[in-house]
Structures are given as structure tokens and as C-alpha cells.
A and B are shown apart, each in its own frame.
Chain A
């Protein structure tokens, strides 16, 4: 007999998700950008510690912690790993899906608790410094966060039975307020009775929503859309490090940038210049990538002082930008027209190199400017010259036919 087996479905979906995440995580950790991030993280940790050593006693640590953590406790989606076609194929077995969804909730719960653990870990040194080094409250706080998270997830699951999105918003606001109050009581060490009372409110909310949605069906479209959102936010994240094909075809108009393209003359030798710049401005995330790297680079160069090491750092950012732009070359690989145009064969690569050189030179100027504003005039001047030399070398020697194929 063929019978629907939710256990089989769960294994398949969870397995595929793990596989997909692992694949991109591999790219992320092999990428060049991860080095920069580890570096930045280390620096941030260093400055955090520095700051803690002379933090003012009046600093509202409890308040900030309760505002931020309450947000993370409130946002409690259940990752369902549903696919678009499920709205057709799984609807008949909706009633047999209960244990599938329970497993989904468990996985989501563990993941979100883990995030809370990290956040609490980040905040705890600050809290301890202001409260007589009371690190031992960590586990008590964590236990409270776990219980609150569990209740929030259960409530959220029942709320999504409502079609009306407004009820979702109202629920989120109510829960955020309740969570914030709860955490405020916890962090300011009020009597346990108050904490218990707030938990009772959360439990009451849960019972209310459970009763109210008892006879409602699962909102497949909503759950599927939610899961697509989860996936695409992961892709967006992974896209910072590597090329995510699923994101490739997102075209944005960005009309403002037309002024730059309009100045390209109407001449057959400019055909590819025209094409590459349009693509750079509109397709995928090339522009965003360059902006991100320039901003991260600029800020890093401004706040760090490595002396002449700054120059190397600036070049490193230029190199990363150049590497990330190379896929732009392949943007029209499947477009027959590029092969049919009656144009000299090297026109395309010339146009591409010109674009690369232009972008890297501008980024070099901006990075050097950041060093200049910081006050290191001589270093900024050296960095400017080195950027131009690097750009020239990168475009001439690094960007070869072999690397572009």
C-alpha cells in the first residue's frame, strides 16, 4: 500500500536543507571575505572590551538588553521547509502533518535558542561589569529566555492560522511588550513573583490562541511564503561571499544611475561599454557589493591604525572587489547576440577591463580619502598611488582570458 509517510517527508526536507546550507557555508568559509570578517570581528571584540573598562556606571545596560532581547524572543517563526508545490500535493494529507510540524518547531526552537545564547553571551560582560561581576546569573537568564522562547513559538504557530495579517501584527506587538516587561523584571532582579505573573500572561495568551484557532485550517500559502523568505534571506547572506545562482536574475531599475550611462557615446566601439555598465548598475548585486566593500574598507581604514599597513589593507579591499566583479564577464555567456555582433573580437574584453579599472580606481580614491580624513596625509598619498598601480597591474596581468573563461 502507498501511504503518506510524514516521517519520510521530514527526512527528505531536513536532509535537503542541511545539504543546501552546507554547500553555501563551505563557500562562505573558503571565501576571501570571511578573513575580513574574522578580522573585523576580532577588532570589534577588542574595542568592546576597551569600552567596558571605562563604562559609566549610569549606562542603561538592562534597558538596552531588554529592548534587543525582547525583539529576538518575539520573532519566533517556525521554519517549515515547505515548497511551492506542497499547496497542491500536501493539502490532502494536512491532518497527518502534525508530527512533521512539531519536528519543524523543535528545530526552529533549538536554532533560535542558540541565537539567544550568543546574544546573551555578548551582553553578559557588560551586564556583569555594571552589577558587581555577577556572571553567575547567566544560567538563570538563559533559562528564562528558553521558556519565553518556547511559549512565544507556540503562540506564533497558532496565530498564523489567522488569514488576516493584521492579527499577526497585533499579536507581535502584544508579545513584544509582554516580553520586554518580563525581561526588564528579570534583568533588574525584581521578585520572582512578578516574573511568574508575566509567564502566566504568556501562557494565557497561548491558551487563548489555541482555543481561537482550533477549527481553522493550516494557511499553506502563508507558510510557504514564510519559508521562501527564510531561504532568500539566507541566499542574500551567502551572496555576500559567493555567487548565488538563485539570486542572479534580480534586475533593479535604478533610474538615477542612467546619467552615468547616458554619456557613453553612440559609437560601435562603445557597444560593450554600454552593455557592461548597464549590467553593473542593474543586475544582481555587483553595485551593492562594491558599495559594501568600499564602506567596510573605508570605515576599517578610518578606525584602525596600522601605519603603512593601511596601504596594504586598502589594496586588499581593492583586490577583493576586483575578484568579486570578475563574474560580471560571464553575464552574457548564454546570449547569442554577443557572438553575432560584427565587432572586433577584443572589443568586449577591452570594455570589461576599462570598467574594472574605472571602478577600482574610484574605490582606491575613496579608500585613500578615508585615510586622509583620518589625518595620515602621507599614508593616504602613498595609498592613492599604490591603488592606481595595483589597479593597473590587476587589469593588465590578473584579468587574463584564462581567468575569464
Chain B
């Protein structure tokens, strides 16, 4: 059974749907890249998955759970890294981590062990008592990533995580995603950095104007487009150009 299953989902903010009959799934032990232009429907897809929007039609399940029926159990299955960091102005870095650990029902022991590792990985040990107003954009992003990975859920939803991160931070994030994947998690990552997606994602899903244009491993995509040595950038540009002529 797939970890995340999206079946024929149509949805949006108004009656005029942004997502048009979307279906895809994510399994354990894989990183899936969600690729698309601004306004293609990536964020709307993510908002549907994390339960902030209900689909007009279709169904979304995580580990067989449906949001409407079992809200708490459903939410416990995943964590989310938003595109722009969202922090509590009145909490320090340490308290953000503690809040998250408490909310997701970690034991104090788990919280302390995992926090140590994450702090070291992202070189934030000295920032533990700092408030968000003293953090740069990249540091805020690191707080978001640390909160998400502290919980170690079965599914990670990561929305454009690289912008603002320093090169070491990017590498740490990629290593961490790889490690979690090997330990059995599934990861859905939306990004515009196609070269990184190409290298780290097991599968790519290209979404365009609210529809899934194509999906598969890099090899499958190359075959489908008949472009044997193409990069993801090449394929992507070809795909959107084709679209313009239709």
C-alpha cells in the first residue's frame, strides 16, 4: 500500500478548480520531487495533503487514513516544512523544538537526543536561546527543518526548502532526507532547483496548470520524451514549450 495516495483530486479555493483530477502516490523509502512553474498548483496540492483544504472531488489518504475521519491520527503521520518560515515571535529556538516535540507526543528523552543531533547538523547549538527576530531567513528555514525532522514521521512534506539556506545547510538537509528515506520514510518535495531534484529524487512529478503532465524516474522521463541524455531542465523546458503550441 502506498504511503500517500492521491486519487482523482479536484480542488481549489473557488468553484473554478486549481487542481484538475490529480492522482499520484508516494511510497515508503522514496523521495519524490514535485516540479512546476509558479501557479502550477504545487502549493495547492500541498495544502490539500496537509489538510488545510478539502478536495471538491477525490480522496487523499496517508497510510490508509482519511483526514476528515481521523484528524489527529492523520496529522501525526506527517510533518511539513513551509516555503516561507512561520515562527512564533515569542518563542526561542529551543522552545520551538520543545513545542513541536510536545505537540507530536515525543518523550522528553527522544526530544533531547534528536535535538542534539539536529542542532549539531545545522550548526545552531549557540542559537538555542535566540528569538526569531534575530534570525536570518536561512536560520529561520533551519528552525522549520529541524522541527519537521525532530518528529521523524512516516511522511515529510517539504515545500521549496533550499531558498535562503547556505550551502552547508542545503547539504545537511539533503543528507537528512536521504537518511530518513533509508529508514523508511517517504518524502514529497516541491522545488524549482531542478538539478538538485534530478540528483536526489527517486521519482519526479511534473505538474502544469493543475494537471499531472508526466511522472516517473529520470530514465522513464528521458524515454518518454525521447531525449536520451537530457537533464531535468531540458525536459522541463521542452514540456512547457510544447504546451505553448497547443
Partner of A278, one of B73, B95, B100: B95
A266 to chain B, nearest CB (A): 5
With a CB–CB cut-off of 8 A, which chain B residues contact A341? Answer: 75, 103-104
**Contact status A275-B88, CB under 8 Å:** yes
Interface residue ranges, A against B (CB under 8 Å) = 249, 251, 253, 266-268, 270-271, 274-275, 278-279, 282-283, 331-332, 334-337, 339-345
Q: How large is the interface on B (under 10, 10 to 19, 20 to 34, 35 or more residues)?
A: 20 to 34
Are B98 and A335 in contact, with the CB atoms below 8 A? no
Q: Which of B82, B88, B105 contacts A268 (CB 8 A)?
A: B105
Q: Is B2 an interface residue (CB 8 A)?
A: no
19 A-B pairs with C-beta separation under 8 A: A251-B131, A253-B131, A266-B108, A268-B103, A268-B104, A270-B102, A271-B99, A271-B102, A274-B95, A274-B98, A275-B99, A279-B88, A335-B86, A335-B88, A336-B86, A340-B50, A341-B103, A342-B74, A342-B103
A334 CA to B72 CA in the complex, in Å?
20
A390–B11 CA distance with the chains assembled, in angstroms: 47
Most buried by A among B86, B90, B104, B111: B90
Contact B104 A336 (CB under 8 A): no
Number of residue pairs A-B, CB distance < 8 angstroms: 71
Q: B50 to A251, Cβ gap below 8 A?
A: no
Residues of B114-159 at the interface with A, using a CB-CB cut-off of 8 Å, are 131, 133
A341 to B71, CA, bound (A): 10
Contacts of A336 in B (CB 8 A): 52, 80, 82, 86
Find the A residue at minimum CB distance from B144: A337
CB contact under 8 A between A344 and B72, given known A266-B108, A279-B90, A283-B90:
yes
Q: Is the CB of A343 within 8 A of B52?
A: no
Q: Nearest A residue to B76 by beta-carbon distance?
A: A342
A340 with B88, Cβ < 8 A, contacts A251-B133, A267-B102, A268-B104 known: no
Distance of A342 Cα from B70 Cα, bound (Å): 10
Bound together, the chains give a CA A135 to CA B102 distance in angstroms of 70
CA distance in complex: A334, B89 (Å): 11
Chain B residue at minimum C-beta to C-beta distance from A248: B89
For the complex, is B91 an interface residue (Cβ under 8 Å from A)?
yes
Q: Using CB atoms, name the residue of chain B closest to A334.
A: B86
Which A residues are CB-close (under 8 A) to B102? Answer: 266-268, 270-271, 274
- Chain B's closest residue to A336 (CB) is B86
Q: Is the CB of A343 within 8 A of B90?
A: no
Which residue from chain B places its CB closest to the CB of A268 in the assembled complex?
Answer: B105
Write the B56-91 contact mask toward A (1 if CB under 8 angstroms, else 0).
000000000000000111111000101000101111
Contacts known (A251-B133, A340-B50, A342-B75); A278 close to B91, Cβ less than 8 A: yes
Q: Contacts of A334 on B, CB cut-off 8 Å? A: 86
**Chain B residues positioned under 8 Å from A343 (CB to CB):** 72, 103
Q: How far is the CB of B120 from chain A (nearest CB, A)?
A: 22
- Docked-complex contact B95 and A340, CB < 8 angstroms: no
Q: Which residues of B contact A344 (CB under 8 A)?
A: 72
Per the bound structure, the CA–CA distance linking A266 and B89 in Å amounts to: 21
In the bound complex, do residue A283 and residue B108 qualify as a contact, i.e. CB atoms below 8 Å apart?
A: no
Task: Tell me if A340 and B75 are in contact (CB < 8 A).
Answer: yes
**A249-B98 Cα distance, complex, nearest whole Å:** 22
In the complex, what distance in Å separates the CA atom of A279 from the CA atom of B87? 13
From B74, B75, B99, B131, A274 is in contact (CB under 8 Å) with B99
Contact residues in A for B51 (Cβ distance below 8 Å): 340
> In angstroms, how far is the closest chain B Cβ from the Cβ of A265?
9
Does the CB pair B72–A249 fall under 8 Å?
no
- Per-residue CB contact flags for chain B residues 191-221 toward chain A (1 = under 8 Å, else 0) read 0000000000000000000000000000000
Chain A residues within an 8 Å CB radius of B105: 268, 342
